[in-house]
Amino acid sequence: MKHVGVNVAADILMSSGYAGVNAGFVMVSADDPGQHSSQNEQDNRWYGLISHIPVVYPSSPRDAYNLVKEAYRLSEKYMHPVILRSTTRISHTRQIIEVEEDISKEKKCKGRFDRRIERWVLVPAHGRKQKRRMMDAWKRIMEEEGHPPFITVVNPGRRRVIIADGIAYSHAVEAVNTISNPDEYTFVKVNLPVPLPYKPIVEAVKDAEKVLIVEELDPVLENQVKRILYDHGLNVEIHGKDLVPENGELDLDSVSKVILEFEGREPILPWKPMEPLKLEPQIPPRPPVMCAGCPHRNSFFIVKVAANKARLKNPVFTGDIGCYTLGYLPPFKTQMTSFEMGGSIGVAHGLSKVSDEPVIAVIGDSTFYHAGIPASINIIYNKGRAVLLILDNYYTAMTGHQPHPGTGKTAMGEPTYRVPIEEITKALGYETYVINPMNVKESINKVAEALKKYKEGKPVAIVSKMKCALEALRDARRMGIKLPVYTILEDKCTGCMACVYPIGCPAIVVPKGSKKPVIIGDLCAGCGLCAQICPFNAIVVKEPGSPDWIKAWY
- Residue-wise pLDDT for 444-496, tens only, equals 999 999 999 999 999 999 999 999 999 999 999 999 999 999 999 999 999 99
For residue 121, count CB atoms less than 10 angstroms from its CB and return exposed for 0-12, middle for 13-18, buried for 19 or more. exposed
The reported pLDDT for the residue numbered 287 is 74
Q: Which helix (H) or strand (E) element contains residue 351?
A: helix 343-354
List the Cα angle 143/147/148 in 5-degree steps.
150
The reported pLDDT for the residue numbered 279 is 81
The mean pLDDT value for 308-316 works out to: 94
Residue 280 CA to its chain's centroid (Å): 33
Residue 317 CB-half CA count within 13 A: 22
User: CA 552 → CA 84, 89, 392, 474, 479, distances in Å?
Assistant: 41, 38, 15, 9, 8
Q: Which of 430, 438, 424, 499 has its CA nearest to residue 466?
A: 438
Q: Give yes or no for residue 417 having a pLDDT over 80.
A: yes
CA dist 504 and 420 (Å) reads 30
Which of 106-115, 217-226, 396-405 has the weakest average pLDDT?
106-115
The mean pLDDT value for 154-182 works out to: 95
Domains and CATH numbers, the chain: 5-93+116-144 (no CATH), 151-262 (3.40.50.920), 295-466 (3.40.50.970), 481-553 (3.30.70.20)
The reported pLDDT for the residue numbered 79 is 95
User: What is the pTM for the complete model shown?
Assistant: 0.84
Q: Give yes or no for residue 419 having a pLDDT over 80.
A: yes
The reported pLDDT for the residue numbered 281 is 84
Q: Give yes or no for residue 112 having a pLDDT over 90.
A: no
pLDDT tens track for 119-149:
999 999 999 999 999 999 999 999 999 999 9
Q: Give yes or no for residue 177 having a pLDDT over 90.
A: yes
pLDDT tens track for 269-304:
888 877 878 888 887 777 788 999 999 999 999 999
How many other β-carbons are positioned within 10 Å of the β-carbon of residue 55?
27
The reported pLDDT for the residue numbered 19 is 94
Confidence bin at 199 (pLDDT 50/70/90): very high
The reported pLDDT for the residue numbered 311 is 95
pLDDT tens track for 4-60:
999 989 999 999 999 999 999 999 999 999 988 888 999 999 999 999 999 999 999
The reported pLDDT for the residue numbered 486 is 96
CA dist 452 and 460 (Å) reads 10
Mean pLDDT rounded to a whole number for the chain: 93
The reported pLDDT for the residue numbered 149 is 95
CA dist 35 and 38 (Å) reads 5
The reported pLDDT for the residue numbered 111 is 82
The reported pLDDT for the residue numbered 37 is 83
The reported pLDDT for the residue numbered 39 is 87
Q: Give yes or no for residue 105 having a pLDDT over 90.
A: no
Strands 210-214 and 185-190: unpaired
The reported pLDDT for the residue numbered 302 is 96
Confidence bin at 305 (pLDDT 50/70/90): very high
Q: Is 540 helix (H, G, I), strand (E, B) or coil?
A: strand
The reported pLDDT for the residue numbered 554 is 87
The percentage of the chain sitting over the pLDDT mark of 90, rounded to a whole number, equals 87
Q: Give yes or no for residue 103 having a pLDDT over 80.
A: no
pLDDT tens track for 376-411:
999 999 999 999 999 999 999 888 889 999 999 998
* Strand ranges inside 436-521, DSSP E: 460-465, 485-488, 508-509, 518-519
The reported pLDDT for the residue numbered 126 is 94
For residue 41, count CB atoms less than 10 angstroms from its CB and return exposed for 0-12, middle for 13-18, buried for 19 or more. buried
Q: Which of 489, 472, 484, 467 has its CA nearest to residue 524?
A: 484
Confidence bin at 267 (pLDDT 50/70/90): confident
Q: Which helix (H) or strand (E) element contains residue 476?
A: helix 469-479
How many other β-carbons are positioned within 10 Å of the β-carbon of residue 442?
13
